[in-house]
Amino acid sequence: MRFSLVATDGNARAGILDTAHGSFPTPVFMPVGTYGAVKTVTPDELEAAGSTIILSNTYHLYLRPGSDVIQRAGGLHSFMGWNGPILTDSGGFQIMSLSELARVTEEGVDFRSHLNGDRHSITPELAVLIQEQLGTDIAMCLDEVIDPLSDRETVARAVERTSRWARRCLLARKRERMALFGIVQGGTFTDLRVESSRGLVEMGFDGYAVGGLALGESREDTWEAVTAAAAVLPEGQPRYLMGMGTPEDLLKGIELGMDMFDCVMPTRNARNGTLFTSEGKLSVKVSALKEDTGSPDPACSCYTCTHFSRAYLRHLYTTGEMLGFRLCTIHNLSYYHQLVSGARKAILAGSFADFREEVGKGWRAGEAFDSQDSHR
């Protein structure tokens, strides 16, 4: 993997990231395909919407169908029919969020499957092996994910363990074509975020992620934590802000120097009948759209907005037609990709602040985006 920084505008960055399965420009938004599929859309539709890299989940694919099954099928790219880059997270967040019976030890995480209660253990070494079996392009270290509002002593212990696990992940990696990112932890304590970042940088990863945020802390605390980490992370390597979020979150993260983003918000909201548009949120469920023949978002050039009306999307949603979920998903993903693409062009032109202000005017004219449920 190689990252080339092309331009900066303040702290905002535009770059190119080369991987074993192709290159893509940054900033970039990665749709979430937890089980090896982005819900309701095909790989062709993802590509048409502007997707250049997708995210899948180590924990879920390990449990089913099994990383060994995927390896025998030729790897995740072949298995799911996606030819572009894939990033897989390590599963640490899912292990902790889905199982009340998870137990963290120095060796790793012991947990019961949320599917059938079977016992499993994932160590840093196994997390790397699973991702190597999947054939991912960018793998994440196993980290200890905790409530960001935990007390300082608890957060400090998690930072130290995450650092030890990160070193073990580095030693376990055998597949050189797979990039490996360390994950910065530290809750809302900025000094612990700095400590975590410095420790990972000293180890020498291919890139760095900032994790453990958007889990209940205030937005002010979120951005202070991101700022603290970004000040330490190397300029010449990619920075990934995990699990966020709204369109405002993306632009704020870009402003603070982040390059890569993922979140379930565009796809989950699409299935719930909510579109992200240049004028804020649009609910296709409301009766006021029954005879509205206008485009869902006149400023959007996606397939949905250039072929169908608000009234039609409302009709599909109220009748439970699957096509409605697909069309809303295509729009939301297209909107996110167009947003980060516009941000990149503005960075290259040295006008990112103006771009952000102009986009924000449109959002302020409509219904505000909800920052809740921003994590994957």
pLDDT per residue over 178-199, tens digit each? Answer: 999 999 999 999 999 999 999 9
| Same domain as 37, residue 15 | yes
Domain end, chosen from 263, 278, 294, is at 263
Q: Please count the structural domains in the chain.
A: 2
Domain end, chosen from 240, 263, 286, is at 263
Res. 261: pLDDT tops 80:
yes
Rounded CA separation 57/67 (Å): 11
- CA separation, residue 219 to residues 29, 115, 188, 353, 367 (Å): 20, 33, 10, 20, 19
Q: What is the pLDDT of residue 364?
A: 81
Q: What is the pLDDT of residue 245?
A: 87
What are the E-state strand segments in 28-127? 28-30, 54-57, 86-89, 103-104, 109-112, 119-122
Q: What is the pLDDT of residue 148?
A: 84
Instruction: Give the CA count within 13 Å in the CB-facing half-sphere of 250.
Output: 29
Q: What is the pLDDT of residue 370?
A: 66
> Which residues 6+ apart lie within 8 Å of 195 measured at CB?
159, 186
Question: For residue range 162-175, what is the model confidence (pLDDT) as tens digits?
Answer: 999 999 999 999 99
What does the pLDDT average to over 305-322? 98
Q: What is the pLDDT of residue 74?
A: 98
Is residue 372 a part of any domain in this protein? no
Confidence of residue 114 (pLDDT cuts 50, 70, 90): confident
| Same domain as 349, residue 220 | no
| Same domain as 215, residue 80 | yes
Res. 267: pLDDT tops 50:
yes
Is residue 371 a part of any domain in this protein? no
- Judge contact between 12 and 246, C-beta under 8 A: no
Q: What is the pLDDT of residue 102?
A: 86
Residue with tokens 């196993």: 142
| Same domain as 87, residue 18 | yes
CATH number at residue 139: 3.20.20.105
Share of the chain above pLDDT 70, in %: 97
Domain end, chosen from 237, 263, 289, is at 263
- In this structure, the number of other CB atoms found within 10 A of the CB of residue 301 comes to 9
Q: What is the mean pLDDT of the chain?
A: 95
Tokens standing for 105? 């030890």
On the 0-12 / 13-18 / 19+ scale of CB atoms within 10 A, 28 is: buried
- In this structure, the number of other CB atoms found within 10 A of the CB of residue 125 comes to 17
| Same domain as 74, residue 197 | yes
| Same domain as 256, residue 285 | no
β-bridge partners, 100: none
Q: What is the pLDDT of residue 7?
A: 98
Share of the chain above pLDDT 90, in %: 89
- Judge contact between 95 and 144, C-beta under 8 A: no
| Same domain as 303, residue 354 | yes
Q: What is the pLDDT of residue 373?
A: 46
Is 262 assigned a catalytic role?
yes
- Catalytic annotation, pick one of 206, 249, 259, 262: 262
Res. 372: pLDDT tops 60:
no
Confidence of residue 375 (pLDDT cuts 50, 70, 90): very low
Rounded CA separation 152/148 (Å): 10
Question: For residue range 217-249, what is the model confidence (pLDDT) as tens digits?
Answer: 999 999 999 999 999 999 999 999 999 889 999
Is residue 294 a part of any domain in this protein? yes
Is residue 113 a part of any domain in this protein? yes
| Same domain as 325, residue 244 | no
Is 147 assigned a catalytic role?
no
Would you state the torsion angle of the CA atoms of residues 339, 227, 52, 247, taken in this order, to the nearest 10 degrees?
A: -30
| Same domain as 316, residue 169 | no
- Judge contact between 267 and 329, C-beta under 8 A: yes
Res. 376: pLDDT tops 70:
no
Is residue 26 a part of any domain in this protein? yes
Confidence of residue 93 (pLDDT cuts 50, 70, 90): confident
Res. 374: pLDDT tops 60:
no
Which domain range does residue 208 map to?
2-263
Q: 124-134 and 152-172 helices cross at what angle (nearest 10)?
A: 50
What does the pLDDT average to over 271-285? 96
Q: What is the pLDDT of residue 371?
A: 56
Res. 367: pLDDT tops 80:
no
- pTM greater than 0.85: yes
Confidence of residue 147 (pLDDT cuts 50, 70, 90): confident
- Catalytic annotation, pick one of 89, 249, 259, 297: 89
| Same domain as 16, residue 118 | yes
Question: For residue range 28-69, what is the model confidence (pLDDT) as tens digits?
Answer: 999 999 999 999 999 999 999 999 999 999 999 999 999 999
Is residue 302 a part of any domain in this protein? yes
